[in-house]
C-alpha cells in the first residue's frame, strides 16, 4: 500500500490515503499499453470512406469510338479508371475497424498507466469535486490550486452534471467517471486528477 496526499479543491492538504499497489503500484507493461491504445484508436474510426467504382459512376455507357481504324487505343467506356472522372480502381469502401482485445491485456494496460502516473507524481488525489452551480471559474481556480498540467483528466466516482458542464469548455480538460476510465485518456493526460471515491472505486473494480 502506498500513501498519497489528499487535497481539497483549494489545493490545501487535508489528509492521506493508502492505495493498493496492485492498482497504483505495478511495474508498467509497455506492450500491453501499446496494444490497448492502438485498439482504442482503431475503434474510434468511423470507417465511412468511400469511392465509386466504374459501375457506380454516371455516364460512360457508350463505347467512345469504334474498336479499330481510328489510331486511338481501344476503349470501352469513358468511365474506366484510366479516364478523368472515371471510376476508382481498388479504392476504399466503408468498413468497420473495430476489433476486440483480451480483457486481461486491457486491464493490465490500464493498471500500467495508472501506476505510471502515480509513480511519476502526475496523479493528484482530491477529497471530492464539488460544484453547486454552473461556474467554469470555480473549476479553473481548482485546477490552478492543485497544480494541473496542460492536459488534465478529471475522474469522479459518478457523473456530477454541474461539475462536468462547468469543466466542459476549458481547453485541455476532460472529465469522466470511474467506470469509464480508459488507458488512452489516462496516458494522454499530463495530470490525472482523481477524487478519493473514484480511486477507491478503481481499487474495487481493478484490484
Q: Is 147 helix (H, G, I), strand (E, B) or coil?
A: coil
> Which CATH architecture describes the domain 2-29+101-206?
3-Layer(aba) Sandwich (3.40)
Reduced to 3 DSSP states, what percent helix, strand and coil does the chain have, rounded to the nearest 5?
35, 15, 50
- Of the pLDDT bands very low, low, confident and very high (cuts 50, 70, 90), residue 162 is confident
Which string of DSSP letters, residue by residue, matches 99-150?
----HHHHHHHHHHHHHHHHHTT-EEEES----SS--HHHHHHHHHHHT--S
What's the rounded mean pLDDT across residues 22-27? Answer: 95
Instruction: Give the start-to-end residue ranges of the domains of the chain.
Output: 2-29+101-206
pLDDT for the residue 36: 98
pLDDT tens digits, residue range 38-84?
999 999 999 999 999 999 999 999 999 999 999 999 999 999 999 99
pLDDT for the residue 207: 79
- Of the pLDDT bands very low, low, confident and very high (cuts 50, 70, 90), residue 35 is very high
Look up the pTM and report it.
0.85
pLDDT for the residue 160: 80
What's the rounded mean pLDDT across residues 89-104? Answer: 97
Amino acid at each position: 500500500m502506498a500513501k498519497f496526499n489528499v487535497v481539497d479543491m483549494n489545493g490545501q492538504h487535508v489528509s492521506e490515503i493508502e492505495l493498493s499497489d496492485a492498482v497504483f503500484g505495478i511495474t508498467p507493461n509497455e506492450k500491453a499499453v501499446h496494444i490497448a491504445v492502438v485498439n482504442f484508436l482503431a475503434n474510434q474510426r468511423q470507417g465511412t470512406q468511400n469511392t465509386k467504382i466504374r459501375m457506380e459512376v454516371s455516364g460512360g455507357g457508350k463505347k467512345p469510338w469504334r474498336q479499330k481504324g481510328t489510331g486511338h487505343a481501344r476503349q470501352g467506356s469513358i468511365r474506366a479508371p484510366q479516364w478523368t472522372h472515371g471510376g476508382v480502381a481498388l479504392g476504399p469502401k466503408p468498413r468497420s475497424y473495430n476489433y476486440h482485445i483480451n480483457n486481461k491485456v486491457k486491464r493490465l494496460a490500464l493498471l500500467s498507466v495508472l501506476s505510471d502516473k502515480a509513480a511519476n507524481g502526475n496523479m493528484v488525489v482530491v477529497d471530492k469535486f464539488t460544484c453547486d452551480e454552473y461556474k467554469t471559474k470555480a473549476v479553473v481556480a481548482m485546477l490552478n490550486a492543485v497544480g494541473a498540467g496542460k492536459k488534465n483528466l478529471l475522474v469522479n466516482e459518478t457523473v456530477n452534471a454541474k461539475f462536468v458542464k462547468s469543466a466542459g469548455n476549458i481547453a485541455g480538460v476532460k472529465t469522466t467517471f470511474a467506470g469509464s476510465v480508459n488507458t488512452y485518456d489516462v496516458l494522454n493526460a499530463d495530470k490525472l486528477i482523481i477524487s478519493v471515491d473514484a480511486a477507491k472505486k478503481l481499487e474495487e473494480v481493478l484490484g
